[in-house]
Amino acid sequence: MKKQKLESILFSMSKTGLSAVLLRDPENLLYATGYWPAVGRSLLLITSEGRSRLLVPRSEQDFVPSGGADEVEVEEDEGLSSVFSPYPRFQEFLGKLEGKVGVEASSEVVSVVQAGTEASFASGPTFDAVRRAGGEPVDFSGEMEVLRQQKDGDDIKKIRTSYELAALGIREGACKLKEGVTEAELASAIEGAIDSSVGYKGTRRVRAYAFVMSGERGEIAYYPYNFSSEREIREGDSVLVELDVQADGYWSDTTRTLFINPTRELRERFEAVLEANEEATRAAKVGAKAAEVDAVARRVLAERGYGKEFVHRLGHGVGFRHHELPALHPTSNDVLMEGSVFTVEPGVYGKGFGIRIEDGVAATSSGGEKLGSIPITLGRRHSWPGLYAAEKQTKGRTVTASVPAHSDRGMTRHVVKGLAYPPARPLTDRCLT
């Protein structure tokens, strides 16, 4: 385990008088060891002396990074001699415990393991094993939730990779967008582009979840869930793409809204949402109150006349889990800290449309830093006249993104920070490469 993370866990343990902590939830194992479980039978035991022991299925040994724990023990997978149960091996692994042992007793929402068909988390049988070993289970879920807010440099690098994979999917979606394509077909193309990119920057396990809500279906795209349908996309539609990517356990959460010849009303709403996104990102400094960052985006949309159409929180933490702390909500008491990574996702929804722009942002001392290079809009053919390409050189390669041409509301100064402007050349291709 990394020294800083171990010390953070030990400090939280000392405040509650724990002799040990037993972790099983995948997001907590990922935070503590860098290891993302595949099936969810893994355990991490940390003692108050600072020793860490990790139990993993034999089939998952190769996924444990060097230095993930002081000791790594193996659990055999099922053979033909008996029906498998993990609990005898769990009991052997725990050995003899004493005093209060922290467990994940209130984690009713957990991240998914690689074999995401079934949830796997600590509950009664695991807690009973702690008791049989001589320990007294005490809930440690809240402490871990707080600790996971603070990502280190390696964590942020891996989250950024997840956002870069999302960019590949968004670009593919723009290429496939046309009249007559269904939402489900567009979502499938986006997911396929990402899933087939496994190996990017060393990733080994990548999963994408794309959801497309177009036209009148965008009216409800603020629901806690989105889903793609057989609806065919038509000219004039807003096409909201919600995209979640998990790369070696690390989550990204992105939304982009594409168009086919939108009306002036949709263009103006899009510009307002983009301005709210950029202003809130700039306000997301270390030490800022999450509620105040939410208020920045809300003020921008209210000033543009769309305040009543922004009906959800501005964002949430992301990284070890798809949704975690901090909460960027009008009533939140959370404060952004060094290492906080979260979404900034203002949106407006009304009759026949849904428009949202969502980015992953890391808090810094000078404001929020967007992770990844996900274009805001893609391709003149799929947006409105006046889109141009602007370019910058990044480590010897050209990165291209599209920005709106001059607007009477002055939006252009906020669109893509760091890109050459006025734009260098008009876009002639419908895809960005």
**Model confidence band, residue 225 (pLDDT cutoffs 50, 70, 90):** confident
Domains in the chain (CATH in brackets) are 3-147 (3.40.350.10), 153-374 (3.90.230.10)
**Model confidence band, residue 376 (pLDDT cutoffs 50, 70, 90):** confident
pLDDT at position 348 over 70: yes
For residues 350 and 346, what is the distance between their CA atoms, to the nearest angstrom? 14
Higher per-residue pLDDT: 376 or 14:
14
Average pLDDT of the segment spanning 119-137: 92
CA distances from 382 to 60, 216, 427 (A): 44, 18, 11
Average pLDDT of the segment spanning 92-100: 96
pLDDT at position 136 over 90: yes
Average pLDDT of the segment spanning 336-358: 97
Strand partners, 364: 285, 367
For residues 420 and 163, what is the distance between their CA atoms, to the nearest angstrom? 23
pLDDT at position 340 over 90: yes
Higher per-residue pLDDT: 160 or 120:
160
pLDDT at position 62 over 80: yes
Omega of the bond prior to 423 within 30 degrees of 0, cis?
no
Question: Mean pLDDT score of the chain, rounded to an integer?
Answer: 87
Strand partners, 251: 246
Q: What is the pLDDT of residue 77?
A: 85
Parallel, antiparallel, or unpaired: how do β-strands 359-364 and 341-344 relate?
antiparallel
Average pLDDT of the segment spanning 271-294: 97
pLDDT at position 244 over 50: yes
Q: What is the pLDDT of residue 116?
A: 67
| The length of the chain, given as a count of residues | 433
Q: What is the pLDDT of residue 206?
A: 96
What's the first-to-final CA gap in the chain, in angstroms? 40
Average pLDDT of the segment spanning 313-329: 97
- pLDDT digits 0-9 by tens, 193-215: 999 999 999 999 999 999 999 99
Q: What is the pLDDT of residue 383?
A: 37
Q: What is the pLDDT of residue 377?
A: 59
Q: What is the pLDDT of residue 431?
A: 55
For residues 135 and 152, what is the distance between their CA atoms, to the nearest angstrom? 32
pLDDT at position 125 over 60: yes
- As a three-state string, the secondary structure of the chain is CCHHHHHHHHHHHHHHCCCEEEECCHHHHHHHHCCCCCCCCCEEEEECCCCEEEEEEHHHHHHCCCCCCCEEEEECCCCCCCCCCCHHHHHHHHCCCCCEEEECCCCCCCCCCCCCCCCCCCCHHHHHHHHHCCCEEEECHHHHHHHCCCCCHHHHHHHHHHHHHHHHHHHHHHHHCCCCCEHHHHHHHHHHHHHCCCCHHHCCCEEEEEEEEEHHHHHHCCCCCCCCCCCECCCCCEEEEEEEEEECCEEEEEEEEEECCCCHHHHHHHHHHHHHHHHHHHHCECCCEHHHHHHHHHHHHHHCCCHHHCCCCCEEECCCCCCEEEEECCCCCCECCCCCEEEECCEEEECCEEEECEEEEEEECCEEEECCCCCCECCHHHCCCCEEEEEEEECCEEEEEEEECCCCCCHHHHCCCCCCCCCCEECCCCCCC
Average pLDDT of the segment spanning 380-394: 32
pLDDT at position 413 over 80: no
Query: Each residue of 273-303: b (16+ CB within 10 Å) or e?
Result: bbbbbbbbbebbebebbbbbbbbbbbebbbe
Average pLDDT of the segment spanning 74-83: 88
Q: What is the pLDDT of residue 114?
A: 76
- pLDDT digits 0-9 by tens, 162-172: 999 999 999 99
- pLDDT digits 0-9 by tens, 286-295: 999 999 999 9
Average pLDDT of the segment spanning 344-355: 97
